[in-house]
Amino acid sequence: GLDFSRTAIKKNKKIFKSKFFYKDICSNKFSLKGKFDYIYCRFFLHTITSVDEKKFFKNLKKIIKKKTIIFLEFRTNLDPYLKKGKRISENESIYGHYRRFIDEKQLKDKIKLYNFKIKHISSSFNYANYRMERPHICRIIFSY
């Protein structure tokens, strides 16, 4: 597992006794030995800027194999939280913390531009309900 939170890494190492690394996959200096069969990014993409998103996709290619399957789950621009808090731009706001609400079609086009092949895409208000919260979530599965 990769995470930019040292606290999350420490907790996961204790619980799972597996390999967890403190890494910033959006860094220009990102490096990691090894390639992965599966990459799962839940509620990550909407926490980074569009500039960091470009770095993420570039660095993703460094850690994948030919048939690696990548799973993304993120908030979309149809999410009700976009209208809450302090609006930074058309698709960014701070409500508790920074969020970038992603246009599903635009991301789909970007994924194709990076030469990935989309296997599945769907979105719903029913994917990540928590208490009274009903975010609009998109799930994309793709490979290289």
Q: What is the pLDDT of residue 19?
A: 75
* Residues above pLDDT 70, as percent of the chain: 100
Q: What is the pLDDT of residue 76?
A: 98
Instruction: Encode pLDDT of 30-57 as tens digits.
Output: 998 888 899 999 999 999 999 999 999 9
Is pLDDT of 109 > 80? yes
Can you spell out the DSSP letters for 41-89? EES-GGGS-HHHHHHHHHHHGGGEEEEEEEEEEEEBTT-GGGGSSEEEE
For residues 114 and 138, the answer to whether their CB atoms sit within 8 Å is no
Give dist(CA 144, CA 111) in Å, integer. 10
Q: Work out whether the CA dihedral 36, 3, 49, 31 comes out positive or negative.
A: negative
pTM metric for this prediction: 0.87
Over residues 109-135, the mean pLDDT reads 95
Q: Which is higher by pLDDT, 114 or 13? A: 114
Q: What's the whole-number average pLDDT of the chain?
A: 92
Give SS3 for 18: coil
Over residues 71-92, the mean pLDDT reads 95
Q: Work out whether the CA dihedral 132, 88, 111, 65 comes out positive or negative.
A: negative
Q: Which is higher by pLDDT, 14 or 51? A: 51
Structure tokens at 85: 């808090």
Is pLDDT of 113 > 80? yes
